[in-house]
Structure 1
């Protein structure tokens, strides 16, 4: 089994202050996000994917449609972004002021959700494990950073960020690459 795990393209234009956007906000890709998706499509042009799974959110579905226009993406609820609670739509400065730098570091380094965030970590880990155990062929998964980190945990690795327009690769339960961006 080969899994290519992609984080959707950018939803903020250059110069626009990024905000914590999760399951509650369904943003479209901006121009540079569509360009990231095209770079991923070019990078994987020689790969014939057997399936494509996405979160139900527009940004993941649009990324998938650019990367694998020949497949109909299957919506997978377990790939949906986490719920940032009252931090949804807030800038990083506002989120840090509310929960503190230590809480954000615990999230980034260990996937410990800050107070008020809805993550369902055990369910996400179980879903990733089920996917890795039960899948065959070459599968493209398009999701978010919050959801993708649990793929690594399901494989016994430490969680790590997946930047917009970046990918990870897992072959037969081994992480081959993580947080790689194709050349623009």
Structure 2
């Protein structure tokens, strides 16, 4: 069976003008008003594209659960939401909750650039890379139909390391980062995976 895997990064958790901070698994923030609007916009966009989800998986945090609920509100006979711990945001260690400028001061721009272009984990962050990759690989090779996944920026990038063909596609990207409220599409046709969309907002 073929697969259409739609990967969404949760909506905004900071209001306009609020300083951005590094927020990971240790901080369970809700969506702000603009984040709720992003989830609704995604739901409408997917409905207009004719996407009908057979399965829906989300990381077990407020921001991911609210985003997936907003998307599925526009789906008739929406599937039950399945929690998946391997989709949870990463652990930023000493940088959790810190302003971005302070994170840059500690790690340097080069380390953050390697994280965004090659998924190389910065010093002090706690990421089980093998578990992340295996979770994505298992999903992509054992599931069919149209599947929605809502997760974080830190977790989503490892989808592109789950298969050599996806790694080749990812090498053409300027960044592995997904913006809040943006989505990606990975397709499997005749057993071959390919990246169809990355970091698109409705």
- What TM-score, normalized by structure 1, do the two folds share? 0.96
Q: Specify the alignment match of 1:55 in structure 2.
A: 59
Deviation at 1:18, TM superposition (A): 0.8
Q: Specify the alignment match of 2:142 in structure 1.
A: 134
Q: Specify the alignment match of 2:156 in structure 1.
A: 148
Superposed counterparts of 1:160-171, under 5 Å: 160-171=176-187
Superposed counterparts of 1:1-184, under 5 Å: 1-45=3-47, 46-69=50-73, 70-156=78-164, 157=167, 158=170, 160-172=176-188, 173-182=193-202
CA distance in 2, matches of 1:81, 1:75: 13
| Shift >4 Å, 4+ stretches | none
Task: State how many pairs are aligned.
Answer: 182
CA distance in 2, matches of 1:103, 1:155: 24
- What TM-score, normalized by structure 2, do the two folds share? 0.88
CA distance in 1, matches of 2:98, 2:80: 33
CA distance in 2, matches of 1:169, 1:21: 25
Deviation at 1:137, TM superposition (A): 0.8
5+ residue gaps, structure 1, are none
